Amino acid sequence: MNMDQLKRQAAARALEEVRDGMQLGLGTGSTAKHFVELLGERVAAGLKVIGVPTSEATRLDAMRCGVPLTTLDEIDHLDITIDGADEIDPELNLIKGGGGALLREKIVAAASDRMIVIADDTKWVPTLGRFPLPIEVIPFGLGATRRAIEKAFAECGVSGQMAVRKAKGGDKDGHVFVTDGGHWILDAQLGRIVDPPRLAKALSAIPGVVEHGLFIGLASSAVLAGGEGIRVIERRKPKGD
C-alpha cells in the first residue's frame, strides 16, 4: 500500500466517528483532503453535517465535494476537528504547519470538543523536531522577531537554522510564501525539541509571532495508518492539559 492509500485509510477510520448533525473542523493538507473527499461522499448519501475549513484550499475542496460550510462566527463550537500533522509524539503533541495553515488550524482545533489527527505512521516520532518547526510571523520588524525567537530557543535548550519559507510551484515560485492571514513563515530546523510545552509558551509570548506549529494538549486521538494496519492512540490527559 502506498503512502496516499495509507492516508486515505486513516481518513476513513476517522470518518467512522462522525455522526449526523455534527459540526466539524476540516483540516488542511494531503491527508485532510482525503477526509474531505470521503465526507463529501457521505454527505451525498444523506449525512447531515456542517464544516469549518482551516484554509482557503480546504474551503475550495469542501465546496467541490459538496460539504456544507459555516464559520466560527455563525456557530459557537465544533464537535470534532479532523486534521493531519507533520509530526506526532507519544504525548500527542504535534508539529503542524507544513502546508502553512497552522494559524487557522489552531483556532479551529481549540474551538473543538475533540481533535482527531489522521496520518500515515511515518509521522509518529519519539521526540518532535526533525520536521522544521513553522513559526508564523508578521513581516514588520522581522529582524527583531528573529532575535527574540533565537533567545527563546536558547532558553528552551534548542538551536538551529531559521529560514523564511518560499512559495513552491506556479508563478509564485521563489517568492516569499504568504499565509491565508497575510503573514510569513519562518521554518526552524531544531532537530530535537526537548520540552515542547515550554518552547510553545516562550514562542507565544513574542510580539511579532502570530502563531507557531506546536500543538500542545489539543489532539484527543491519533489515527495512524501503516503497513501493519491502523493504530488509534488516545490522549491520556484531558484536553488543554
CB contact set of 49 (below 8 Å; sequence gap of 6+): 18, 20, 21, 22, 23, 24, 39, 43, 67, 68
85 is in an annotated binding site: yes
User: 157: which DSSP letter?
Assistant: T
Q: Is residue 120 within 8 Å of residue 224, measured between CB atoms?
A: yes
> Least distance from C-beta 37 to ligand R5P, angstroms?
13
Angle at 184 between CA 118 and CA 157, to 5 degrees: 70
Does the protein bind ligand R5P through residue 83 (CB under 6 A)?
Answer: yes
Sole window of 77-85, 160-168, 169-177, 200-208 interacting with ligand R5P (rule: CB under 6 A): 77-85
**Residue 87 bears catalytic tag:** no
Give the per-residue contact string, 8-27, with ligand R5P (x = CB under 6 A; - = no): -------------------x
Name which position in 25, 40, 53, 99 contacts ligand R5P (CB under 6 A). Answer: 99
- Beta-bridge mates of residue 124: 88
- The SS3 of residue 179 is coil
Sole window of 38-46, 72-80, 93-101, 163-171 interacting with ligand R5P (rule: CB under 6 A): 93-101
> Least distance from C-beta 214 to ligand R5P, angstroms?
11
Binding site listing: 28-31, 83-86, 96-99, 123
